[in-house]
Amino acid sequence: MKLVILDRDGVINFDSDQFIKNPDEWKPIPGSLEAIARLNQAGFRVVVASNQSGVGRGLFDMATLNAIHDKMHKLLAQYGGRIDALFFCPHTADDKCACRKPKPGMMAEIAQRYGLALSGVAAVGDSLRDLQAAEKAGAQPILVRTGKGEKTLAAGDIPTHTLVFSNLAEAAEYLIAPDNS
């Protein structure tokens, strides 16, 4: 099975320091939905692993998070794409949970759900914590320069075997290339 794990905010949609708190604030990064559809068409299962501490902070509730994800699914379907599963951590950093990235809890849950080791599985993110969670789970960290990606790259200290691409569309083209899949 070909699997790719995506962070949401900053990879699929524009991020906000004030959080994405409702469906109107969720806006896809140009080319991201098409990239997911191309990954699907190339035989990849696409899953999302996203920290959503806005729930734990009381900025929005589960019904609102579901509405945001419904919008994402509907817009993606217009391009013939789909997200096979959504994994998210609703906790704040103070909760000390095992699922909040950079901890690998969500990655372990994905591995268990699909019954496979994540060795070599592409995990695309825009922040250091995305890359660290991928590395801890044995996945292939991929940094995109969208969202917080430029700042993450400039700060340095990313895992040494991290691949870097301009955006999700460029990363998808790399993953789909016959010699990389």
Mean pLDDT of the 118-141 span: 97
* Catalytic hit among 7, 15, 126, 130: 7
Which residue is listed with tokens 């000390």?
96
For residue 59, the domain's CATH number is 3.40.50.1000
List all residues 6 or more positions away from 30 whose beta carbon is below 8 Å from its beta carbon. none
- Tell whether 181 is covered by a domain: no
Mean pLDDT of the chain: 96
Per-residue confidence (pLDDT) for residue 178, from 0 to 100: 82
Please report, to the nearest 10 degrees, the dihedral formed by the alpha carbons of residues 167, 74, 66, 170 taken in order: -10
Instruction: Indicate the number of domains in the chain.
Output: 1
Confidence of residue 181 (pLDDT cuts 50, 70, 90): low
- Tell whether 155 is covered by a domain: yes
C-alpha 126/C-alpha 66 separation (Å) is: 22
- Tell whether 149 is covered by a domain: yes
* 24 belongs to the catalytic site: no
Residue 89 pairs with which residues in a beta bridge? 51
The one-letter code for the residue type at 57 is: R
* pLDDT tens column, 35-76: 999 999 999 999 999 999 999 999 999 999 999 999 999 999
Across 125-148, b (16+ Cβ under 10 Å) vs e yields: bbbbbbbbbbbbbebbbbbbbbbb
Domain that holds residue 168: 2-176
* 7 belongs to the catalytic site: yes
C-alpha 168/C-alpha 10 separation (Å) is: 10
- Residue 4 DSSP SS3: strand
* pLDDT tens column, 16-31: 999 999 999 999 999 9
* pLDDT tens column, 85-117: 999 999 998 999 999 999 999 999 999 999 999
Would you say the pTM of this structure is higher than 0.75?
yes
Residue 129 has pLDDT above 70, yes or no: yes
